[in-house]
Amino acid sequence: MSINIIVGARFNASLAANTLVENDIDFSVYSSSIRKNWPVKPENYNFIPMPSLLAARGFGLPRTSYLKELDANIFDFLASKTMKHKKILHGWASFCLRSATLQKQRGGYVILDRACPHIKTQRKILKKESQNLGIEFNEISDAMVSRMEAEYKIADIIIVPSKYTYNSFIEEGVNEDKLRIAKLDANFKPHSSSLSLQSNTQEIFTIGAIGGNVLRKGFIYLLRAWEKLNLDNAKLILKTSKKELKKFPEIINILSRNRNIEIIGYLDNIEDFYAKCDVFCLPSIDDGFGMVVMEALACGKPVLTTKNVGASEFINNFENGFVYDHGNIELLMYYISTLNEDRELLQDMKRNSKLSYEKYKSSKSTYSKCLMNIYGELL
């Protein structure tokens, strides 16, 4: 078995790479993410640049939707020119149409990975949300939609991480025979099995949230709920981009009025973030899976999340978190208040969160096991 991983940035492709290493499988990586992020031999790593991404990293220049789409096309073109033939191409959606076409011409198999919902479904959700909030929507172009639909068509198998994403493909007419579910994992292994089960030694009740795309992550609803609650001895910490937050005047106003909200940027160790939290919240309006849900559970943190988050499949109300309809701030306020006021319930749910993650890790449906079954199915 030999595999090419083709992915702009990194996304959940690092999980696939770790799986291949664990199973001693020959693979190469073609990515714009630097080599230290990949468990791969130097000779099997291929850096493929994306110009506007490099400009954003080096000079802080903004990346519009147009530039992101242009990057994806340039990345795919360069990858297709440098890609050596292997039996399977495992590519990430929007980055591999040319490469996948070449792979089929060479007689190989194509696996397409798409964590988010079908591109048409996602565009509809984000456009509607932008209209609801009265903000400008950076439209996903028709050209990108056509490009991704061409990828869906050429793929032998499309991997999705949840029933939420799976159903969006079915609703858009994709043949279900192509679809396979491989639920994602935490992006790290918790260093301490006991840390996550300890009580927060501080009296301050702390909720944490993570996300780069402020619109998709639904932060506005969490912030509205937080301000209405006006809790004493409580804190909300957001790990996100301050540049993204500035696009939302209402968010900036809420932040200016509430001193118990902290914005955190880059962290060397993401576990340090979860260690600060009693509860984790992912209030997304659109999240094909949400690996942060699994990370929070792995660290023993109950999760508040919406039905539009694929990983909500792992959450059971009053056991390891709460699931609600996105945008329902009244229900979100109730769940936050419940956990703040009932510390015994909070501690029980912390223990259950850790146990639920450990139960998943010992099951037959882990990401790595599902992925190996999909590879084996093709060969």
Q: What percent of the chain has pLDDT over 70?
A: 97
pLDDT tens figures, 203-258: 799 999 999 888 999 999 999 999 999 999 999 999 998 888 888 999 999 999 99
Helix (H, G, I), strand (E, B) or coil at 46: strand
289's tokens: 């899976």
Q: Which pLDDT score is estimated for 176?
A: 96
Does the structure show a pLDDT above 50 at 374?
yes
Residue 377 has pLDDT above 90, yes or no: yes
Both tokens assigned to 86: 């292997």
Q: pLDDT value at position 192? A: 56
List the single range of 104-108, 265-269, 326-330 with lowest mean pLDDT: 265-269
How far is Cα of residue 247 from the mean position of the Cα atoms in its chain?
Answer: 21
What backbone torsions phi and psi does residue 100 show, to the nearest 5 degrees?
Answer: -65, -40
Whether the predicted pLDDT of 198 surpasses 70? no
Sketch out the chain's domains with CATH numbers. 2-181 (3.40.50.2000), 195-361 (3.40.50.2000)
Cβ pair 160, 181 in contact under 8 A: yes
Using the 8-state DSSP alphabet, how is residue 159 labeled? Answer: E
Question: What pLDDT is attached to residue 243?
Answer: 83
Least confident residue range of 43-52, 53-62, 99-108, 241-250: 53-62
Say whether pTM exceeds 0.75.
yes
The rounded mean pLDDT for the chain is 92
H or E segment to which residue 128 belongs: helix 119-133
Count of Cβ atoms closer than 10 Å to residue 192 Cβ: 12
Backbone angles phi and psi of 207, in degrees to 5: -115, 140
